[in-house]
A and B are shown apart, each in its own frame.
Chain A
């Protein structure tokens, strides 16, 4: 940043660049805008269709709403119980996200900054978890929970969410903690601060950008988690989490034909996530930048 340039140092050079740059510009910008449309259109479709009656959606899936059918939302909210499922999801996420961040950062910190026998092995074991196809574990997992009395309970779901979020979290945070300057940690130790205190009062605050990034990813992943609750949370239908509720709504849609309510439900489910992402996206960026995941 210290280098500043006066424009026009090399006029010829710049002119040449200018010409090719313009064509490239047009080309690239077209792509950028095209993808903007591609990425936004399906979501827009969901939101628009959530305001249309079923018949219109069927006859013209990509049309605009004429009369706003707000009833879709009240249908999704009341009869499909979206509100209740969203609350369940929030409660579970409150526990699982906190737990994931806490356990994940604890393990990652130790793995990143201390050497002890088995460090590499443990690291590999955790990171290798990203490669396990979840399907393979579903059945035995069910029994593990059953035997621990955790089946169909919130605690059970929370602890499983935590366990299955650890691989990516640890993978990410180990890289992140390694980038933090070591001097601070040593200084703290010399000052007589315990390791635990150093971690919570010095290292964690320093790691905030990384924690926010990985926190957002875990939030997205756990909020949309579908397979695990479908297997491990099948007791009382009132305890279902949002993706389960949406799936039930989709199934119901197949029998009763109400696309409007389905789209309204999907809209309700994705709004909080969009808001969270939009609010934190700068921090996500800076967290990723600082960590520059390796």
Chain B
């Protein structure tokens, strides 16, 4: 707890100085820069030293005033080179190439294609199915994070501060450890498997959903076809939320248990109830985490591919990734599919930017 508090202080401190403990090093460097002149020989030695591990650094260099800065940059370059290389080659470059393929008529089966400029983009603009898939994706993008996060917050709050025990201002409900483990269960399965299991649940005759509705006397709510009808999007939404709530419970409980007990203590002394405590204290203090979680969940909702692809029949609704998939792998139109991928990318980017901007608020310093 104590180290945590100390850590937070440090963050505030770090942020304030915009860049961490580097500041004095940088300042020191600037002060020195007007000092002794950089001779060519020294420059050479500095350069050599830059590429050598510290232990081989020549003495003359080691005690040079510029050495500290050089040492730092050497370290930075040395530590970043490998991650940046791997990331650049395997993530960034394929994405950049993809933009090129979106302007071709490539089928996906052969090595040849022609450059078609913005034809695919024009076609996409006039493609009703594309817009329908976009609408569905946007619906998921808006609703899924809200539902999942609200549930995640509620459960997390109950588990960290929901219990009232004698002599303790905050405590989770009894058995919160068990809840946290079990809630996380859906996360250990890959989405493809989750989709198979849920497809069985939605199955009209032998599925648990219709059976359950029957059992509680809601027979009239039963449907002959959940996944092929206009209900499909809601069915997918439920599964999406189901599989991610556990993750957010764990994430939010972590954020909530980082809130110092004293604050709850004070609130309790003031006679605040649980809901007041939640809205006045817990929620504002975990807002940063919630916002991050929101973005992350939005991205998951945009990529509901495995769920839609496995659960929803071919003639049923589409979301952007599943439409992209069909175009690419069923219809042999990989070029056009890549164009849809670009659209998906743009939507994701817009969403994240909007979230980061509107969600920004002053950090509450503790």
Measured CB to CB, the residues of A under 8 A from B are 1-5, 7, 10, 13, 17, 20-21, 24, 28-29, 31-32, 35-36, 38-40, 42-43, 45-46, 60-62, 103-104, 106-107, 109-116, 119, 122, 125-126, 128-141, 143-145, 159-160, 162-164, 166-167, 170, 178-182, 185-186, 194-196, 199, 220, 224, 226, 243, 246-247, 250, 266, 269-270, 273-274, 277-278, 281, 284-294
Nearest Cβ in chain A — how far from B308, in angstroms?
13
Nearest Cβ in chain B — how far from A223, in angstroms?
8
Q: List B contacts of A17 (CB < 8 A).
A: 271, 273
Q: Nearest CB to that of B55 among chain A residues?
A: A194
Q: List A contacts of B145 (CB < 8 A).
A: none
Task: Tell whether B223 is near chain A: CB-to-CB under 8 Å.
Answer: no
Distance in angstroms between the alpha carbons of A32 and B158 in the assembled complex:
8
Range class of the B interface residue count: 35 or more
Nearest Cβ in chain A — how far from B188, in angstroms?
4
A7: contacting residue among B75, B158, B166, B182, CB under 8 A: B166
Q: List B contacts of A141 (CB < 8 A).
A: 90, 94
Contact status A293-B97, CB under 8 Å: no
Contact status A226-B274, CB under 8 Å: no
Distance in angstroms between the alpha carbons of A244 and B179 in the assembled complex:
31
Contact status B158-A135, CB under 8 Å: no
A181: contacting residue among B10, B73, B251, B257, CB under 8 A: B10
Distance in angstroms between the alpha carbons of A284 and B108 in the assembled complex:
42
Known contacts being A131-B348, A277-B188, is A112 close to B80, with CB within 8 Å?
A: no
B197: contacting residue among A24, A46, A119, A195, CB under 8 A: A46
A133: contacting residue among B11, B166, B206, B303, CB under 8 A: B303
Contact status A5-B158, CB under 8 Å: no
Q: List B contacts of A129 (CB < 8 A).
A: 87, 91-92
Distance in angstroms between the alpha carbons of A234 and B191 in the assembled complex:
21
Task: Tell whether B183 is near chain A: CB-to-CB under 8 Å.
Answer: yes
Known contacts being A136-B344, A288-B254, is A40 close to B185, with CB within 8 Å?
A: yes
Contact status A35-B155, CB under 8 Å: yes
Contact status B261-A1, CB under 8 Å: yes
Contact status B84-A122, CB under 8 Å: yes
Q: List B contacts of A128 (CB < 8 A).
A: 349
Q: List B contacts of A126 (CB < 8 A).
A: 83, 87
Known contacts being A1-B1, A5-B167, A139-B338, is A185 close to B21, with CB within 8 Å?
A: yes
The 0/1 profile, CB within 8 Å of A marked 1, for residues 276-295 of chain B is 00000000000011001000
